[in-house]
Amino acid sequence: MARMQLYSPAPLDPFSPQINPRDRMMPTHGPQIVWRTDQPTRRPPARSFLPLLRAAVAARPDRPDLLRDLAVALRDDRRWVEIHDLLSPLAEKGGLTPALACELAQAAIACDQPDLALRVLAPEIAGTARDARRQRVLALYALNRIDEARTAAAQVLDENPSDSMVLGAFANDCLTHGAAEDLASLCQGAIDGGVGSTLHLAYLSAALSLAGRTSDVVRLIDPEYLCRRIELDSGLIDNEELTQAILTHPALAPSPETKPTYGRNLRLEGLASVEHPAIRNLLAVVRRQVDDYLAERLNAPHPLIAHRPQTARLQGWALVLSDDGHEETHIHPQGWLTVVYYARVPTSETRGAEREAPPPGSLAFGPWPRFIGESLPDFPRWRVEPQDGTLLIFPSFLGHGTIPTGVGEPRICVALDVLPCDQAPTP
């Protein structure tokens, strides 16, 4: 297959229907993944126990276990100031257990008091508790003690390459302080060692681009080969039934602040657990399409395929966007592949009018993290203009966001991540 030009100011669509014709309705290969259709048991959020825990601590303030339970519940609700006020008096008295010291350190960093975090993480604590070492790294970075932070981060990541908090801090440091090769080396080492994650692939992409290693970026990000577009026949998916199942669900609500979604929007979480025929049917179609996608790429010399899961489950959500509703560029760090299905795509009056600007409602791929984007002029960029019935499959490490539709009629899509339950051995 000829390689496409990866970066151009003109619109690119590697998901072109000419690559995957509309009449390709169902996969032709057998199952490639053992699919788990059960969903993890959802525990009630710790914050739901806050009144009970506050009362318990008030009655027995001498119980470190109750203090820890309360701190965890407060952390679940991001009540950093309350954690600080709860635990800092114990720090002054020397009464913190290692677990409580970690909770206070995290709250102190969130409250812009990284010096306090370092004080409570005494050497005997930071030397033995993994979470304490993590918080120490974050505190050092917050204090701009870069050399110490890098050394500490490298030690943590050598022990646990999948520590996403430390990896994120180390990556942001390297990308902003001219250490792209250090980041690329760390990520490549994790991938070669069989422990690389979606985050490692995403950061490796940015690091290679920032280091000017364009040919390596092209090999890692090949949208023409790694991305797939299918125009599903209306006989496979009843879009009207699917749309109504989403719009009438009682859990449909605005996206929480933790999501990269802004403007006018509604979200339905936990879609894979929703018992509705239209949603069950969509999940079955997606599983078959993912099997087909993988079967066509089994011998590809790419880390995405080399570290494919043997067992996986789908987890996803529905998103309803209108007017200014959109998603900033992001990745799906827990996923291996991401699948997006468009049940309803309204037509904008400006679609196609100004070809220099991204078409309203399109899905745009490009650099991630977003803050580094302007420093990566040669990073692959392309966009996709979906329509009703479009299904997209792409690696979860690719940065992507949406362009507002600018119309009041909702654009309704379903996003599903293929979550690995285990990893296949590297070939």
Tens of pLDDT, residues 322-363: 999 999 999 999 999 999 999 999 987 655 545 556 788 899
Pick the CATH number of 46-220 from 3.30.950.10, 1.25.40.10, 3.20.20.140, 1.20.120.530: 1.25.40.10
Q: Is 176 helix (H, G, I), strand (E, B) or coil?
A: helix
Q: Give the fold, CATH level 3, of 34-41+221-423.
A: Jelly Rolls (2.60.120)
| Residue 104 φ/ψ, nearest 5 degrees | -65, -40
- Position with higher pLDDT, 45 vs 132: 132
State how far the Cα of 393 lies from the Cα of 342, in Å rounded to an integer: 12
State how far the Cα of 396 lies from the Cα of 418, in Å rounded to an integer: 9
Q: How many CB atoms are located within 10 Å of the residue 298 CB?
A: 11
Q: What is the residue type of 293?
A: Y
Which tokens belong to 147? 């050399």
Question: Taking the domains of the chain in order of start, what are their residue ranges?
Answer: 34-41+221-423, 46-220
- Sequence-distant (≥ 6) Cβ neighbours of residue 190 within 8 angstroms: 157, 161, 196, 197, 200
State how far the Cα of 176 lies from the Cα of 75, in Å rounded to an integer: 29
- For 112, left (φ over 0), alpha (ψ -120 to 50), or beta? left
Bridge-based pairing of strands 326-327 and 390-395 is unpaired
What's the start-to-end Cα distance of the chain, in Å? 23
**Averaged over 227-240, what is the pLDDT?**
94
State how far the Cα of 98 lies from the Cα of 104, in Å rounded to an integer: 10
> With contact defined as beta carbons under 8 Å apart, do 217 and 209 qualify?
yes
Which tokens belong to 328? 């900033």
Q: Which pTM does this prediction carry?
A: 0.87
State how far the Cα of 361 lies from the Cα of 205, in Å rounded to an integer: 26
Tell me 233's DSSP state.
-
Question: Inter-axis angle of helices 146-159 and 180-192, to 10 degrees?
Answer: 10
Tens of pLDDT, residues 282-327: 999 999 999 999 999 988 889 999 889 999 999 999 999 999 999 9
Which tokens belong to 278? 């239209």
Do domains 34-41+221-423 and 46-220 share one topology? The answer is no
Tens of pLDDT, residues 129-151: 788 999 999 999 999 999 999 99
